[in-house]
């Protein structure tokens, strides 16, 4: 996974110019008006939190909850880093919206054939060697892209060398690790970051799913055993009754 790509957002550098928002909308052909929240036509947005600007987007988890939840496998973690969505498989159950610990996926509620929308880290552009549109558009390099290991190293270097930073890389542990990282000089909970569990989300359901075969084997054996006893009891009762009637006849 050395070639896995990741994005680092340095909140101390962001000037709130919304170039990333605009670039994202442009590349997807969405209407250009600014939106306050993520929506089907705003896959990344810049929020004002006090005097800081916080970018929201898909975190591209290493082990995504959405991909584990999707029953038809429309959502996938690619080897290159992005979590992608294949609309042709989607049945519209919206379990991904329920599952995402960062509440990122959006649904096209207004459409008659609605799909799920979310940032795909410009997987297509990245495959051609280009940077994601939002990163490319950033005039102050508040967002940078690179190999995940290098990006993490860079983030660590920054927070260790400068005392203003909070000593945590948001995304390094959240949901078991992501491919989008945030560093900040204001505590993350004050910037509206979700307190996601610090474990890979699919683990939460894996244990229950792992119990399935056991339930079938043990339960099946137990129920068959009970049925055998029931059957045997009935046979014994029948035989006894027959014996009794023969005796009475004699």
Partner 1 sequence: MSAKSTTATGTSATRFPRISFWRTVVAIIFAAGLYSMYARFALGFKLATNLTDPQPWGLWVGLGTLCGVGLSAGGFAIAAAVYLLGLDRYRPILRTSVLISFLGYCTVCVGMLYELGIPWRIWHPIVMWNRHSVLFEVSWCVMLYTTVLALEFSPSLVEKLPWVRVRELYLRWHHSILIALVLAGTLLSSMHQSFLGGLYLITKGRLDPLWYSPYLTTMFYLSAIPAGLAVTIMAIYLCVRSLNARVDMNILSDVSRVIAPLLAIYGVFRVVDLINRDATQYLWMWREATGLFWLEIALLVVVPLVLLNLKKVRENPMYLYWTCAVIVMGFMTNRLNVSITALQTSSAAYYVPKWTEFAASLATITAAAVAFRYAVIYLDILPKNPPRERWLVPSAPAQA
User: What's the CA gap between 81 and 21, in Å, rounded?
Assistant: 21
Task: Point out which span in 125-133, 163-171, 176-184, 212-220 binds partner 1 (CB under 8 A).
Answer: 212-220
Q: State which residue, 52 or 76, has the beta carbon closest to partner 1.
A: 76
Question: At CA 128, angle to CA 8 and CA 74, rounded to 5?
Answer: 75
Q: Which of residues 101-160 bind partner 1 (CB under 8 A)?
A: 101, 103, 105-107, 109-115
Q: State which residue, 82 or 101, has the beta carbon closest to partner 1.
A: 101
User: What's the CA gap between 233 and 229, in Å, rounded?
Assistant: 6
Binding of partner 1 at residue 69 (CB under 8 A)? Answer: yes
Q: Provide, rounded to whole angstroms, the least separation between the CB of residue 247 and partner 1.
A: 26
- Residue 117 three-state SS: strand
Q: State which residue, 57 or 152, has the beta carbon closest to partner 1.
A: 57
Q: State which residue, 115 or 185, has the beta carbon closest to partner 1.
A: 115
Q: How far is CA 72 from the centre of its chain?
A: 15
Q: Provide, rounded to whole angstroms, the least separation between the CB of residue 245 and partner 1.
A: 21
Q: Which residue of 1, 15, 32, 71 would you call a contact of partner 1, by CB under 8 A?
A: 71
Q: Which of residues 84-103 bind partner 1 (CB under 8 A)?
A: 89-95, 97-99, 101, 103
Q: Provide, rounded to whole angstroms, the least separation between the CB of residue 81 and partner 1.
A: 19
Binding of partner 1 at residue 216 (CB under 8 A)? Answer: yes
Binding of partner 1 at residue 219 (CB under 8 A)? Answer: yes
CA atoms within 13 A on the CB side of 202: 15
Binding of partner 1 at residue 233 (CB under 8 A)? Answer: yes
Q: DSSP letter string over 29-97? A: T------SS-BTTBSSEEEEETTEEEEE-----SS-HHHHH-TT--EEE-TTS-EEE-TTT-----HHH
Q: Which of 3, 12, 2, 20 is nearest to 158 (CA)?
A: 12
Task: Point out which span in 48-56, 77-85, 150-158, 200-208 binds partner 1 (CB under 8 A).
Answer: 200-208
Extract the tokens encoding 71. 């029953």
Which value, to the nearest 10 degrees, does the dihedral of the CA atoms of residues 209, 213, 216, 221 take?
Answer: -150
Residues of this chain that bind partner 1 (CB under 8 A): 38, 65, 67-74, 89-95, 97-99, 101, 103, 105-107, 109-115, 194-197, 201-202, 204-209, 211-212, 215-216, 219-220, 223-224, 226-227, 229-231, 233-234
């Amino acid at each position: 996974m050395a070639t896995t790509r990741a994005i680092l957002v340095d909140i101390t550098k962001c000037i709130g110019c919304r170039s990333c928002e605009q670039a994202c909308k442009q590349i997807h052909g969405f209407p250009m008006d600014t939106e306050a929240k993520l929506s089907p036509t705003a896959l990344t947005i810049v929020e004002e939190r006090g005097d800081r600007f916080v970018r929201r987007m898909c975190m591209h988890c290493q082990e995504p909850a959405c991909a584990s939840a999707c029953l038809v496998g429309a959502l996938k973690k690619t080897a290159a880093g992005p979590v992608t969505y294949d609309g042709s498989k989607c049945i519209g159950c919206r379990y991904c919206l329920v599952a995402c610990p960062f509440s990122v996926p959006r649904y096209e509620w207004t459409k008659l054939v609605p799909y799920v929308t979310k940032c795909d880290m410009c997987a297509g552009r990245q495959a051609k060697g280009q940077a994601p549109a939002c990163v490319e558009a950033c005039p102050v390099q508040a967002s940078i892209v690179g190999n995940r290991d290098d990006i993490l190293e860079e983030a660590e270097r920054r927070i260790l060398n400068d005392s203003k930073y909070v000593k945590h890389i948001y995304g390094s542990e959240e949901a078991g690790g992501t491919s989008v990282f945030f560093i900040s000089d204001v505590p993350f909970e004050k910037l509206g970051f979700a307190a996601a569990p610090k474990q890979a989300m699919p683990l939460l359901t894996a244990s229950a799913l792992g119990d399935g075969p056991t339930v079938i084997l043990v339960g099946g054996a137990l129920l068959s055993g009970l049925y055998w006893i029931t059957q045997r009891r009935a046979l014994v009762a029948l035989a006894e009754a027959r014996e009794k009637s023969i005796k009475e006849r004699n």
